[in-house]
């Protein structure tokens, strides 16, 4: 009995939107670095240092006495090493750290 391609497992690749053989997808995947933490926004987009994000809900900023409104643009974020937190700069607020679940990549 010979092995044919119909016995191979297929995996849906969300990037390309196609069903690909599992072996091909594994070969394409970059080697995972255990020190690199993936940070994803509220809809699953991968965030990186320098990205711009918008807030998806109003947030009360503790200690600053102000509220950041939904839709506020935050420029040039920095990843903190925590998969759920990002470091941000915003006028009038020093040391602003936001949870990734409350932002969307722009």
Q: Does 77 map to a domain?
A: yes
Q: Does 6 map to a domain?
A: no
pLDDT at 6: 56
Q: Can you give the pLDDT of all 106 residues of the chain as single tens digits?
A: 444 555 678 888 777 788 888 777 677 665 555 567 899 999 999 999 999 999 999 999 988 888 999 999 999 899 998 999 999 988 888 889 999 999 999 9
Q: Does 1 map to a domain?
A: no
Q: Does 99 map to a domain?
A: yes
Q: Does 89 map to a domain?
A: yes
Query: What pTM was estimated for this model as a whole?
Result: 0.64
The range of the structural domain enclosing residue 73 comes to: 39-105
pLDDT at 53: 96
Q: Does 59 map to a domain?
A: yes
pLDDT at 1: 45
Q: Does 11 map to a domain?
A: no
CATH number at residue 97: 2.30.30.40
Q: In what order do the strands lie in the sheet with 85-90?
A: 78-79, 85-90, 93-99
Separation CA 28–CA 51 (nearest Å):
25
- Number of domains into which the chain is organized: 1
Separation CA 58–CA 23 (nearest Å):
44
Separation CA 88–CA 57 (nearest Å):
16
Q: Does 3 map to a domain?
A: no
pLDDT at 2: 45
């Amino acid at each position: 009995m010979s092995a044919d391609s119909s016995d191979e497992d297929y995996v849906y690749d969300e990037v390309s939107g196609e069903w690909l053989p599992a072996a091909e997808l594994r070969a394409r995947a970059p080697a995972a670095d255990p020190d690199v933490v993936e940070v994803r926004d509220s809809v699953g987009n991968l965030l990186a240092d320098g990205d711009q994000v918008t807030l998806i809900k109003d947030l009360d900023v503790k200690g600053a006495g102000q509220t950041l409104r939904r839709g506020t643009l935050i420029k040039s974020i920095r990843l903190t090493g925590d998969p759920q937190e990002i470091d941000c700069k915003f006028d009038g607020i020093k040391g602003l750290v936001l949870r990734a679940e409350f932002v969307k990549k722009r």
